[in-house]
Amino acid sequence: STGVVKLQPKAEELKFVTKNDGYVHIHPSSVNYQTRHFESPYLVYHEKIKTSRVFIRDCSMVSVYPLVLLGGGQVHTQLQKGEFVIYLDDGWIRFVAASHQVAELVKELRCELDQLLQDKIKNPSMDLCICPRGSRIISMIVKLVTTQ
């Protein structure tokens, strides 16, 4: 039989998009430079530099739920074309949820986590693993992130 096998892009061809810079590339000195496939299309990075083009270094792949739960900005949900969408801040990053219930639960979990972290900042001696509310929120996040 004959056919075509799709090849992964070369390291120098792989590019990502940022809100402010458009396309960016992984810097050749980065550990992830030779990685040609990421399970998630989202990366977080520590450093961005511009030489012949814009590069990122010190990057790690991040999956959807950690990005929604720990990323900056507010989480919103909206019905668009029959799909429930979770979006961050101004809508630049969007995810389609399996159902309206999932979208609302994720949004509520993020609100609970934000409040828990604010409580911890106000009371640094609070042990989140012993506190009933804190331990429930943390165990739910661990379960969500490890089973996605």
The answer to whether the beta carbons of residues 77 and 89 sit under 8 Å apart is: no
| 113's tokens | 């986590």
59: its two tokens: 């990057």
Contact assessment for residue 59 and residue 47, using Cβ atoms and an 8 Å cutoff: no
pTM for the model stands at: 0.77
What pLDDT sits at residue 112?
A: 95
What are the tens digits of pLDDT across the range 88-112?
878 888 889 888 998 899 999 999 9
The pLDDT mean for the chain works out to 89
Which of 51, 33, 53, 29 minimizes the C-alpha distance to 43?
A: 33
| Residue 64 one-letter amino acid | V
Interval 53-77: pLDDT, tens: 999 999 999 988 898 998 878 888 9
